[in-house]
Amino acid sequence: MVRQSFELTAENAESAEMKGPQKYFLCGLGELCGKKAAGSICLVIAVIFIAAGCGQQRKKDVEILARGPDFEKLVVPGDYAAAAIKATGGLQHWAKIQKVQLDCVVTFYAASGADGSFYLTEHRFYIYPWSDSIEVFGKEPLGAIAWQLSGGQFRALPGDDPSAALRDVSVMGVSCRDYAESVLKIATAPVQFLQTGAVFVKGPAPIKMEGLWYDPIEFATADSFQQGPALAQSRPPPADQGAAVKPYWSRVVYCQNRDTSLVDLLWLADIEQGKFLAVRGYDYKEIEKTGILLPTKIEIFRTDARAVSKERIVKIDLK
């Protein structure tokens, strides 16, 4: 896998560092073999140092992301959050989780009006619940993908081939960032409620979607305080909301199943761009004897402005 190559680089970083005698030996060898050989050797040395540096940075990034909860600041905002945590294993198990690895088979479906074709691939996800982060790795026919979404910031990691990612994934109907965030939010929905400083508002009445009853719980962004399909009431924004940086999504609605307490449905809306996604989780099971339950199947749908599903664009199955 792509990540394994990064780890090997990090582990070999110390052995790749050049000591004084080694450097002088290589320079002398270059003089004996001529300028061409010296140039080749210098190129090799440069590649070794670059690889070592990338490996060290990769190791540092993982150490920062892989952390547990800050219990001094941890607040369970309501009964809905406590129920969601309990339904997926309990806080005693979630608190021990710093990183979760998911190896998945992913199907990207062609956009509407196409011939019904799809693109099948395999991706590895590293999910860091308490740092609100995810990494996605894969080897596509046109090149490798290596992405990270952390703290709302999306970036490509060393080893990523941007042209390959755009041609192999984004063209299938969902952006790289939206794809990564959809997986992160549905997998860590219970922990999302415990984010420091986050404000959530539970809807006044349950809603029925695809034959199931849900309690809508909305993340409090500026736009979410307007009347909408999931929370049919108007209310003033918090006093400090006006100065906040505009979020990526206008509205984020977590839907909690009234029968199971699982938050197995999300609605993500970008009102300005006219972009609306629904994310569903299915078949929750314990992952790697961790004690926590995650969806073993995830689907991403495009919806209209009223959260009515129009078409499935991604299906993710845990191996």
**How many angstroms separate the CA atoms of 239 and 234, rounded?**
15
Per-residue pLDDT of the chain (319 residues; tens, 9 = 90+): 333 333 333 333 333 333 443 333 333 334 434 554 555 555 445 444 544 555 565 566 677 899 889 888 888 889 999 999 999 999 999 999 999 999 999 999 987 656 678 889 999 999 999 999 999 999 988 889 999 999 899 999 988 887 776 666 656 678 999 999 999 999 999 999 998 778 899 999 999 988 899 999 999 864 544 444 444 333 334 444 444 467 899 999 999 999 999 999 999 999 999 999 999 999 999 998 999 999 999 999 999 999 998 899 999 999 9
Would you say residue 51 lies in a domain? yes
**How many angstroms separate the CA atoms of 19 and 11, rounded?**
18
Q: Do 59 and 84 belong together in one domain?
A: no
Nearest C-alpha neighbor of 300 from the set 212, 190, 193, 184? 184
**How many angstroms separate the CA atoms of 255 and 284, rounded?**
15
Q: Do 111 and 52 belong together in one domain?
A: no
Q: Do 89 and 18 belong together in one domain?
A: no
Helices (H) and strands (E) in the chain, counts: 9, 13
What pLDDT is attached to residue 236? Answer: 37
**How many angstroms separate the CA atoms of 132 and 151, rounded?**
6
User: Taking the model in full, what pTM does it have?
Assistant: 0.76
**How many angstroms separate the CA atoms of 214 and 257, rounded?**
5
Tell me how crowded residue 310 is: count the other CB atoms within 10 A of its CB: 12
Q: Do 96 and 188 belong together in one domain?
A: yes
Would you say residue 192 lies in a domain? yes
**How many angstroms separate the CA atoms of 98 and 126, rounded?**
10
Phi, psi of 111 (to 5 degrees): -65, 165
**How many angstroms separate the CA atoms of 79 and 69, rounded?**
19
Q: Do 107 and 192 belong together in one domain?
A: yes
Q: Do 6 and 119 belong together in one domain?
A: no
Would you say residue 176 lies in a domain? no
Contact present, 246 and 252 (Cβ < 8 Å): no
**How many angstroms separate the CA atoms of 225 and 237, rounded?**
6
Q: Do 212 and 304 belong together in one domain?
A: yes
Would you say residue 171 lies in a domain? no
Distances in Å between the Cα of 52 and the Cα atoms of 23, 49, 159, 270 are: 16, 5, 13, 40
Would you say residue 73 lies in a domain? no
Would you say residue 165 lies in a domain? no
Which residue range forms the structural domain that includes residue 249? 79-123+181-318
Q: Do 37 and 118 belong together in one domain?
A: no
Phi, psi of 158 (to 5 degrees): -55, 135
What pLDDT is attached to residue 73? Answer: 84
What pLDDT is attached to residue 159? Answer: 84
Domain count, the chain: 2
**How many angstroms separate the CA atoms of 125 and 222, rounded?**
31
258, amino acid identity: R
What pLDDT is attached to residue 165? Answer: 67
Give the dihedral of Cα atoms 68, 71, 72, 74; nearest 10 deg: 100
Would you say residue 139 lies in a domain? no
